[in-house]
Amino acid sequence: RQGLPTSCAPTYMLLALSAALASSAEAPVPDVHIHTPLLRSSKLSERVGGPVYLKMDALQPGGSFKARGIGRLCTHLVRERGVTRLVSSSCANAGMAVAVAGRALGVATTIVASDVDRGCRLLESFRRLGAEVLLEGKEWNDADARARALGDEPASAYVPMFDHPLIVDGHSSLVEELFSDRNGEPPGCIVLSVGGGGLLSGVCEGLKRVGWGSVPVYACQSERCNLLDRAMASGRTPTPTHIYSADGHDLGTRAVAQAALDCSAELDVRSLLVSDSATLAAVGEFLDDERVMVEPLCAVALAALYTRPELFRQHGSVVVVVCGGSLCSLDDVVAWRRRAERGLAATSDDDEPGHGHGES
């Protein structure tokens, strides 16, 4: 692993993925993601008063659940459409998933960043995975416009962060794994974090696919990342606006996915808001309890369990999606814990070591 930062996919994992993809030219298109473990958390089980299981997607190549849906779309683009360059405007988990997929599939990858992302630690991670990094404009909208234009060039394709049917289909594999690991027995509820709604859309699709459509889903959001809550309350998509994770990162997306709204109306999806300070505290608490580091957007679901355990006691068993995240370091965790102790919401320029966009 010499030369690879900790936020990159392990070398052995990339080699295994590349071998699997290369050996199956005539076989069904394989996936870039891996089957992640389902682990019982003794600490959270004690807190809730019933069994709590962790779906450990923090162990995916690239560090987040994005490997599922974005890996599925990238594989389709390369194997079925002959694309030789993948383009993304994400400087966070989606961009990392594209870079990992591009390397595993043996094609070029371009990540377009804006001035806001110049200090993002993942830019070097992208380069070490073989991706080209371009800088364009002052904010994400500028970078995204350039990325879309590059994606229109011959043999190239723009890869969205979450809002695409194949991405939703890829994320649904998480529930198929749960079905297999639990021998078809549904959990009492599923708890997950929501940003743009891609993960929620995929989980709901998976629930319908395996016949678990009655399982409640808690869609957890932090205070400044509440697009889904606002949409569910009003019955319509809110006016596009900047939304921020608890640590002050602009998510890039300006609206929640329509698929997330549709499945929220169809299934038992329960919006749950968590304070920014509780979310930041959950990052450190989960690291202490489970020895796993996650970014704040993932920690929203964990914070719900830490701060409102009585809400989940009624369900008997709980599965929480530990969706991971590339935008975290030990320095970040220390800074976030200080903020949580002061009870302060984070801002992008207050004591914040990293920059970039997070998306769920």
Residue 313 scores a pLDDT above 90: yes
Tens digits of residue pLDDT in 213-272: 999 999 999 988 888 888 888 876 655 566 677 776 666 666 788 889 999 999 999 999
Q: The pTM is what?
A: 0.85
CB 94 within 8 A of CB 102: no
Tens digits of residue pLDDT in 3-18: 333 344 444 344 445 4
Distance, C-alpha 102 to centroid of its chain? 18
Cβ-proximal residues to 100 (8 Å cutoff; 6+ apart), any chain:
8, 9, 14, 32, 61, 62, 67, 71, 129
E strand or H helix at 280, and its extent? helix 276-290
Nearest to 90 by CA among 260, 257, 250: 250
Q: State the average pLDDT for the chain.
A: 86
Inter-residue long-range contacts of 133-138, CB under 8 Å, 24+ positions, other chains counted: 134/110, 136/112, 138/114
SS3 of residue 222 by DSSP: strand
**pLDDT, greater one: 175 or 8:** 175
- pLDDT score recorded for residue 134: 96
E strand or H helix at 102, and its extent? helix 93-105
Please give the Cα distance from 93 to 324 (Å, whole number): 9
Residue 347 scores a pLDDT above 70: no
Tens digits of residue pLDDT in 39-70: 999 999 999 999 999 999 999 999 999 999 99
Please give the Cα distance from 304 to 309 (Å, whole number): 7
Range 272-291 average pLDDT: 94
Residue 83 scores a pLDDT above 50: yes
Angle between helices 296-307 and 276-290 (to 10 degrees): 90
Tokens of 147: 């990325």
SS3 of residue 138 by DSSP: coil
